[in-house]
Amino acid sequence: MKKTIVIASNNEHKLKEFKEILTEYNIVTLNDISYYDDIEETGTTFEENALIKAQTIHKYLKSRGLDYIVIADDSGLCVESLNGAPGVYSARYAGGHGDNEANRSKLQQDLIGKERDAYFICTIVVVYTNGEHKTFEGKTFGKITEEELGKKDFGYDCIFYSNDLNKTFGEATEEEKNSVSHRGRAIKEMIKWF
């Protein structure tokens, strides 16, 4: 029987990516465990935010007598000439949470006349059934393009030109993106540990 892992997220893109890579596990979502509250990400680093999410869900599972491993991640885009911004604020860079178009527009404004080297980073925290945790990190490097190329439905993908793929993530297939993505790399590190 497959081991069950709870992914501490309701982000469909994120869940899809985890399911595509962690095929040997039974992946359970927050909806599946009837957890509907928002988890406030008050950390100042990706690791702090991932840990807050993972420990919150771990405590919730314990209170219901469930012994599952919990995985949470926090990820974002860091632009070197902007001192790592948008960073942990990537999803709410322009103010509102998840307004991809506004976030990309603000980033383009902030980058006028500046270097465009950037990287995506993903920090994964795994909390085991006994409460101990382990952290894994993945990065993927590239540049911010001046125009939007490819699919515009997810985050900064259409303006992140991947050094590995020689195209934007918006132009890449899911398989191509997963093979070099920050999340894909962090998950591979985690699988090695498992």
Task: Go through the domains of the chain in sequence order and give each one's CATH number.
Answer: 3-193 (3.90.950.10)
**153 close to 131: Cβ distance less than 8 angstroms:** no
Whether 73 is catalytic is no
Q: Please state whether the predicted TM-score (pTM) of the whole model is above 0.85.
A: yes
Angstrom distance (rounded) from CA 164 to CA 182: 12
What is the pLDDT at residue 44?
A: 93
CA distances to 19, 155, 178 from 13, rounded to whole Å, are: 10, 10, 11
Among residues 74, 117, 157, 164, which one is catalytic? Answer: 74
**102 close to 92: Cβ distance less than 8 angstroms:** no
What rounded mean pLDDT belongs to the chain?
Answer: 93
Mean pLDDT of 165-187: 93
CA distances to 3, 86, 173 from 191, rounded to whole Å, are: 13, 28, 23
Does pLDDT of 1 surpass 80?
no
